[in-house]
């Protein structure tokens, strides 16, 4: 009896140990991904501090010669009422763009529009034309309504900057569409927005027979590096890690840019001169970043650390939002051949961190299929 119990116990123990090995390996991979991310982030913060000190000693002048003019180009920027979006809108307006601020709050959008209108155009550029349209990416109905309103105006879209986002929501939040909020606002809403606008623009192109050249910029982040799309738990029902969900959404943006570019290239007759690109704007002094770094300090200590963080640490370690706008501007206006399908940042091509254990193209295609399922939207056959 004791011998039987021992044998059975040994077998059960071995089975349990074997079943725990994959979980242990997954845990070690998780630790490795986040360790590398934080080490890389520390180096970038150190570089930011050096750059900020250098700027104080000798003000850096922006090199505008590398960017094309945006004269008369229709540019839609989501989340343009603050941060990187507002900075990007100002830079496009300086270059003569017709800038549409796509904002959740029309009131905040109008205040931002006044700031954008006040910029002085660069030499040879048209006076800026700026307007506001309402868009709530947490609602797929709002996305579709925005696209209908935009299509009704028969405008030729030249540039779409998918910038709006939320970061590190403290509690798991599900939108009215039944999707985890960070995933929908940062990625899924933009995926639907891009597809709907492209569909309407293709109809406009066929009716006018005018040449087309459009660019879609997905604002990602260096935080995409520890991201991992878990297709078995897309709504974080098994467990919610707010920073992991943010990273997953930013990885989805990198994958989306590459998948859109592949589909543009496969359908050259309709989308041959279209470009999709993802961009890391940098670690910037924005509301999102400041909220994240302040949140790293335990709550009881924040009354002491917040003033120090706000006035000393964060202004030193984070670059101004204008710096991020310049990175996005590079993604938006650099030559097509230079950035097509790439992940860029700081005015150059960067290396994206793709899933090492899975084929990147296969993951991107699965993400596309998942997006179709979650939105109930079937894209154009030309984008198949």
pLDDT on residue 65? 53
pLDDT of residue 1 exceeding 50? no
Could you give the angle at the alpha carbon of 79 between the alpha carbons of 334 and 92, nearest 5°?
A: 35
Mean pLDDT along residues 363-372: 96
* Cβ-contact 247, 226 below 8 angstroms: yes
> pLDDT tens digit string along 206-239?
665 565 789 999 999 988 998 889 999 999 999 9
Average pLDDT, the chain: 83
Secondary-structure breakdown of the chain: helix, strand, coil percentages, each rounded to the nearest 5? 55, 10, 30
Question: Is 60 exceeded by the pLDDT of residue 311?
Answer: yes
Indicate the pLDDT class of residue 43, thresholds 50, 70 and 90: low
Measured distance CA(323)–CA(34) in Å, rounded:
25
Q: Domain map of the chain by residue range?
A: 69-283+325-383
Catalytic residue among 187, 246, 330, 343: 246
pLDDT tens, residue by residue, 235-253: 999 999 888 999 999 999 9
Question: How would you classify residue 139: left for phi > 0, otherwise alpha for psi between -120 and 50, otherwise beta?
Answer: beta
Q: Once rounded to an integer, what is the mean pLDDT over residues 333-337?
A: 92
Query: CA 151 → CA 146, 148, 198, distances in Å?
Result: 9, 5, 10
- Residue 292 annotated in active site: no
Is the separation of the CB atoms in 289 and 297 below 8 Å? no
* Paired sense of beta strands 129-134 and 98-103, if any: parallel
**Strand pairing category for 157-162 and 215-219:** parallel
Its CATH class, for the domain covering 69-283+325-383, is alpha beta
What is residue 212's predicted lDDT score, i.e. its pLDDT? 73
Per-residue pLDDT at 305? 76
205 in Cβ contact with 273 (< 8 Å): no
Question: What is the share, in percent, of the chain residues with pLDDT greater than 90?
Answer: 52
Q: Which of the pair, 323 or 187, is modelled with greater confidence?
A: 187
Task: Report the distance separating Cα 191 and Cα 221, nearest Å.
Answer: 17
């Amino acid at each position: 009896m004791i011998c039987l119990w021992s044998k059975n116990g040994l077998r059960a123990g071995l089975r349990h140990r074997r079943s725990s090995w994959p979980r242990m390996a997954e845990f070690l991979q998780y630790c490795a991904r986040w360790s590398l991310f934080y080490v890389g982030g520390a180096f970038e913060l150190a570089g930011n501090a050096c750059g900020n000190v250098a700027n104080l000693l000798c003000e850096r002048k922006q090199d505008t010669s590398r960017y094309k003019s945006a004269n008369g180009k229709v540019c839609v920027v989501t989340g343009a009422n603050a941060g990187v979006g507002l900075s990007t809108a100002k830079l496009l307006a300086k270059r003569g763009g017709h800038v549409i601020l796509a904002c959740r709050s029309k009131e905040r959008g109008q205040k931002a529009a006044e700031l954008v209108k006040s910029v002085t155009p660069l030499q040879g550029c048209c006076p800026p034309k700026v307007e506001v349209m309402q868009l709530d990416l947490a609602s797929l109905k709002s996305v579709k309504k925005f696209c209908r309103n935009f299509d009704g105006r028969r405008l030729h879209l030249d540039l779409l900057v998918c910038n709006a986002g939320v970061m590190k929501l403290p509690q798991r939040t599900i939108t009215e569409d039944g999707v985890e909020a960070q995933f929908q606002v940062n990625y899924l809403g933009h995926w639907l927005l891009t597809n709907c606008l492209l569909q309407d623009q293709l109809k406009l192109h066929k009716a006018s027979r005018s040449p087309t050249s459009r660019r879609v910029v997905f604002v990602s982040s260096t935080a995409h590096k520890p991201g991992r799309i878990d297709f078995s738990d897309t709504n974080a029902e098994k467990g919610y890690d707010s920073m992991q969900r943010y990273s997953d959404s930013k990885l989805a943006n990198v994958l989306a840019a590459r998948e859109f570019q592949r589909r543009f290239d496969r359908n050259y007759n309709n989308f041959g001169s279209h470009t999709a690109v993802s961009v890391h704007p940098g670690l910037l002094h924005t509301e999102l970043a400041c909220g994240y770094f302040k949140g790293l300090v335990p709550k009881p200590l924040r009354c002491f650390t917040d003033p120090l963080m706000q006035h000393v640490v964060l202004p030193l370690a984070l670059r101004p939002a204008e710096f991020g706008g310049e990175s996005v501007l590079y993604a938006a206006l650099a030559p097509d051949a230079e950035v097509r399908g790439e992940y860029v940042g700081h005015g150059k091509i960067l290396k994206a961190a793709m899933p090492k254990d899975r084929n990147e193209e296969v993951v991107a295609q699965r993400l596309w299929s998942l997006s179709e399922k979650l939105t109930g939207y079937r894209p154009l056959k030309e984008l198949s």
